[in-house]
Structure formats: C-alpha cells, structure tokens
Structure 1
C-alpha cells in the first residue's frame, strides 16, 4: 500500500482498532519496522493514543515530548531516531487529560502538516474507533486509516460500526489487518499446502 507506484499511495496513515485490546499498537510498531526495512525514506511512528500511550514500550526508553506539545517547526527534533535506522518515534509523554481537545485545535493540524513535511512516511497509532473520537479526527487529517481486527475476538458488528463511522466522516478506509490469527494446523502442514 505504501510502496505502490503513483501519487495516490498513502504517506500518512492512522492505525486504529475497532475495540480496545485488538493490538493496534503492536501492529503499528510492526508496520513501521517493516516499512523502514523496505524503503530508504524516513518512517516516523507517532503515538497519538493519547488516553493510553504505549507505543514507546515496543522500542524501549521513556515517553518523550508527545504530539500534543510539539510545534510544527520542531517536529523532527521532537522525534527520536531509533538506532541508526530510518525509523523514528514520536512518543506520548503521558496520557492527555483532554485528548479530544488536544486534537481539535488548529495547532494539531499544523503538527500533522509538519510530520508530513519532515518524514516520507508517518504511521499514527490511535485509540479504538468505537471508544473515542480521536481516530476519526486523525483520519480526516491523514491519507487514510487501517483498521486492526483481533481474530476470534472482535465482533463483526463492531468492525462494521467502526468502518461506517470512519466513512461517514469522510475518512479514507485503506483496509484491515487481522491480528492474532491462530494457525491450528502444525507449521509443516502449511508448508505442504
């Protein structure tokens, strides 16, 4: 999706779940690592799950200045480069007391524009669509949203409700990722199939 030829390939993508606990933070971190390994361009992971920030835990270290306190001009300097790679992390220092207000300001639009200008790809980890309004608001500023669905856990109705909420707000739905898929057959049998 990111590496598709043409100008329509998304560069700024929100990764969110339908429900809490579906694993969107893990999926966002994994997508970021994979994308960084496949491209030479800079990839920035942004922890915008302002109610429950955990993205930094996948990479060690402390939560640093977050998306809600960064000025547009200091976006790149507020992100931490992970090793010598092309992967960057903008973590969230602590849960925001009023996450919705933090994302509705004009300053927030400036921050997203600053991220778009500073990095080739931006993956934004957000809260669950059916539990908070932030994924929809972020999705309106991004090129689209990827919805994480937990196998054998997330209800179909919950997924449809999340997708409808996103589309009703004019958010481009890029697709879904099935997380925690179990493979009941031994691995050797899958290789033979």
Structure 2
C-alpha cells in the first residue's frame, strides 16, 4: 500500500531528518514509529502524506508516486492528526471537524450528518457545539482524530497522539484507534514512549537520527 524507497530528507540548514529510509506498510497494518524527539518521526509522516517532498528517494502509495497524486484526493485517503492539534480554540467542535468538508463545498445537511456520525464514533456527540477551548486535552485530541476521519480515510497518521495525556486517557484514545484499525483502517502512529493497550499485535519501527534502527512486533 505504502512504500518508501531510499528516502532521505535534508533541510536547507543541513539538518538530516531522514537518511535512506526503506519501509513498506501493508493494508490493515497498525505500525508504531518509536524514537526520541527529533528522530525524524514527524518528517516521515509528512512525507508519507505528501506534505513534504523527500530530498532523495521515492514514496509510492497504491503503486503510484505520491507526488503525482491530486492533493485533495490524497487528503481524503490519508488522514493526519497533528501533534499540535491545529484546532481553532474559539470555534465549536462542529466547526473544527467540518472544516475539510466546508472547503470542499459540501451541503450543510451532508456536513451535519457526517460530523454527527464521526463525533459519535469518538464519543463526543454531546460536545458538538461546545467551544474547543472548553474541552480537556484528551477531548481535543479526539476532536483532532475526528477531523482526520471525516473523509473515512484508508490510512490514518497520528503524530504523538498521547504525548500530553495521562495514562488512562491515552489508553482510551489508543483503544479507539485500535477499533478503527480492526475495521480496516491502516494506522501509522509516532510516539516517543509506548503505552500498552489492546490485544492486536502491532509493528514497531525504531528510528534514531533519521535512520531505521530496528523492527519488531509486540
């Protein structure tokens, strides 16, 4: 489904974010990218989604070079919940989750039905018209995931989704993500610390200074 071939990313200041990375993700995988801050995890996710271009190498999505994809089509297939959430605090949960569909020009009825359904999935239906600034961090994290799910993507990228959550809240968020994976969504998640959750085996890819230094299953 997704394949990286000799992918490197060097920023203009000379920082090497990724160094000759070769990876393959199959449909239905649940893969965890582990590494310290600055290891290259976020850059890897952005390159997988086509948000950044590799300095060298190729990224294939469904057998096609990802740079050839129409960006709108790609974002519907690959959802991304950002580490910094990128939510608008003084707007409602509904407004934040519906933004991708508003940009597409969908009808209000279509938007409302879809937002209501996806918020029900993340157990936030009753918070639909609450301002984001009134939510807990764990609830905000779920809003970010809901927005990433609005187009029912076949791949979900999560950048440090548990970084600022207590253990119980983190486990609840991750268990929800595991349910999505069991329904068929391919999940690629970055983290710098591993929280045990669920029962399904998960692939772990260890990254250090832009290089893949280990692969295993847990």
- TM-score normalised by length of structure 2: 0.30
